[in-house]
Protein backbone atom coordinates (compact mmCIF):
# COMPACT_ATOMS: atom_id res chain seq x y z
CA UNK A 1 0.00 0.00 0.00
CA UNK A 2 1.05 3.58 -0.45
CA UNK A 3 2.68 5.07 2.65
CA UNK A 4 0.72 8.32 2.17
CA UNK A 5 -2.46 6.38 2.93
CA UNK A 6 -1.16 5.55 6.42
CA UNK A 7 1.46 8.10 7.43
CA UNK A 8 1.40 11.88 7.80
CA UNK A 9 4.94 12.13 6.34
CA UNK A 10 5.34 13.79 2.94
CA UNK A 11 8.24 14.41 0.57
CA UNK A 12 10.99 15.21 1.00
CA UNK A 13 10.76 13.40 4.34
CA UNK A 14 8.68 10.40 3.28
CA UNK A 15 11.44 7.78 3.26
CA UNK A 16 9.55 4.68 2.18
CA UNK A 17 7.94 3.83 -1.18
CA UNK A 18 5.87 0.77 -0.27
CA UNK A 19 4.40 -0.67 2.92
CA UNK A 20 3.07 -4.22 3.00
CA UNK A 21 2.42 -7.20 5.27
CA UNK A 22 1.01 -4.91 7.96
CA UNK A 23 -0.28 -6.67 11.08
CA UNK A 24 -1.93 -3.87 13.11
CA UNK A 25 -0.15 -3.28 16.40
CA UNK A 26 2.42 -5.99 15.64
CA UNK A 27 4.56 -5.72 12.52
CA UNK A 28 5.04 -4.28 9.06
CA UNK A 29 7.41 -4.41 6.09
CA UNK A 30 8.42 -1.80 3.57
CA UNK A 31 10.72 -0.87 0.71
CA UNK A 32 12.62 2.25 -0.22
CA UNK A 33 13.98 2.34 -3.77
CA UNK A 34 16.97 4.69 -3.80
CA UNK A 35 17.32 6.21 -7.26
CA UNK A 36 20.24 8.56 -6.65
CA UNK A 37 18.01 11.60 -7.21
CA UNK A 38 17.31 11.96 -3.46
CA UNK A 39 18.16 15.38 -2.04
CA UNK A 40 20.92 14.17 0.32
CA UNK A 41 23.15 12.16 -2.04
CA UNK A 42 24.99 15.12 -3.65
CA UNK A 43 26.25 16.26 -0.25
CA UNK A 44 26.64 12.86 1.47
CA UNK A 45 29.22 12.35 -0.02
CA UNK A 46 30.44 13.99 -3.25
CA UNK A 47 32.04 11.22 -5.31
CA UNK A 48 30.76 8.49 -2.97
CA UNK A 49 27.01 8.89 -2.39
CA UNK A 50 25.92 7.05 0.73
CA UNK A 51 22.55 6.85 2.48
CA UNK A 52 22.97 8.56 5.88
CA UNK A 53 22.47 6.12 8.74
CA UNK A 54 20.02 8.41 10.52
CA UNK A 55 17.78 8.40 7.43
CA UNK A 56 17.93 4.60 7.34
CA UNK A 57 16.71 4.60 10.97
CA UNK A 58 13.97 7.10 10.12
CA UNK A 59 12.86 4.96 7.18
CA UNK A 60 12.56 1.90 9.44
CA UNK A 61 10.63 4.00 11.96
CA UNK A 62 8.20 5.08 9.24
CA UNK A 63 7.60 1.44 8.31
CA UNK A 64 7.07 0.57 11.99
CA UNK A 65 4.67 3.52 12.34
CA UNK A 66 2.37 1.78 9.85
CA UNK A 67 1.92 -1.10 12.31
CA UNK A 68 1.14 1.37 15.09
CA UNK A 69 -1.32 3.66 13.29
CA UNK A 70 -3.31 0.75 11.83
CA UNK A 71 -4.10 -0.39 15.38
CA UNK A 72 -7.59 1.00 16.11
CA UNK A 73 -6.38 2.51 19.40
CA UNK A 74 -4.01 4.84 17.57
CA UNK A 75 -5.94 6.07 14.53
CA UNK A 76 -5.32 9.80 14.09
CA UNK A 77 -2.12 9.60 16.15
CA UNK A 78 1.55 9.46 15.25
CA UNK A 79 4.41 7.59 16.92
CA UNK A 80 7.47 9.78 17.52
CA UNK A 81 10.99 8.61 18.33
CA UNK A 82 11.58 8.34 22.07
CA UNK A 83 14.97 6.67 21.75
CA UNK A 84 17.19 4.48 19.64
CA UNK A 85 19.19 1.60 21.09
CA UNK A 86 21.66 -0.87 19.66
CA UNK A 87 21.73 0.69 16.20
CA UNK A 88 24.30 -0.99 14.00
CA UNK A 89 25.16 -0.12 10.43
CA UNK A 90 26.51 -3.15 8.63
CA UNK A 91 26.93 -2.06 4.99
CA UNK A 92 26.93 1.02 2.83
CA UNK A 93 23.65 1.78 1.04
CA UNK A 94 24.08 3.57 -2.29
CA UNK A 95 22.03 4.87 -5.22
CA UNK A 96 20.29 2.04 -7.05
CA UNK A 97 19.86 -0.05 -3.89
CA UNK A 98 16.46 -1.08 -2.58
CA UNK A 99 16.22 -1.04 1.19
CA UNK A 100 13.96 -3.90 2.38
CA UNK A 101 12.74 -3.30 5.93
CA UNK A 102 11.06 -5.49 8.53
CA UNK A 103 9.78 -4.05 11.78
CA UNK A 104 8.14 -5.48 14.86
CA UNK A 105 6.32 -3.80 17.74
CA UNK A 106 7.54 -5.49 20.91
CA UNK A 107 5.54 -3.57 23.50
CA UNK A 108 2.80 -0.98 23.17
CA UNK A 109 0.84 0.96 25.75
CA UNK A 110 -1.43 3.98 25.56
CA UNK A 111 1.50 6.43 25.73
CA UNK A 112 4.13 4.63 23.64
CA UNK A 113 6.08 1.47 23.15
CA UNK A 114 9.17 -0.36 21.95
CA UNK A 115 10.04 -1.94 18.65
CA UNK A 116 12.85 -3.27 16.54
CA UNK A 117 13.71 -3.23 12.90
CA UNK A 118 16.17 -4.35 10.33
CA UNK A 119 17.01 -3.27 6.82
CA UNK A 120 18.56 -5.36 4.07
CA UNK A 121 19.87 -4.78 0.59
CA UNK A 122 19.82 -7.86 -1.68
CA UNK A 123 19.37 -10.03 1.41
CA UNK A 124 22.45 -8.56 3.10
CA UNK A 125 21.91 -6.88 6.48
CA UNK A 126 22.47 -3.12 6.24
CA UNK A 127 21.13 -1.93 9.60
CA UNK A 128 19.39 -3.19 12.71
CA UNK A 129 18.14 -1.29 15.74
CA UNK A 130 15.78 -1.23 18.68
CA UNK A 131 13.74 1.89 19.32
CA UNK A 132 11.27 3.47 21.71
CA UNK A 133 8.38 5.63 20.62
CA UNK A 134 5.83 7.93 22.19
CA UNK A 135 2.30 8.44 20.89
CA UNK A 136 1.28 12.00 19.93
CA UNK A 137 -1.61 13.69 18.18
CA UNK A 138 -1.00 13.88 14.43
CA UNK A 139 -1.95 17.55 14.35
CA UNK A 140 -1.33 20.37 16.79
Active site residues: 44
**Separation between Cα atoms, residue 79 and residue 96, nearest integer Å:** 29
CA 73 vs CA 12, 21, 59, 76, 111: distances in Å:
28, 19, 23, 9, 11
Instruction: Tell me how far apart the alpha carbons of residues 124 and 135 are, in angstroms, rounded to a whole number.
Output: 32
Amino acid sequence: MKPEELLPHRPPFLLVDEIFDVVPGQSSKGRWHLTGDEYFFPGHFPGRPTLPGVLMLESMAQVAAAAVVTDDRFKGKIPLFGGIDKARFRRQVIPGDTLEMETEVLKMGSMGGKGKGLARVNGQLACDASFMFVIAEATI
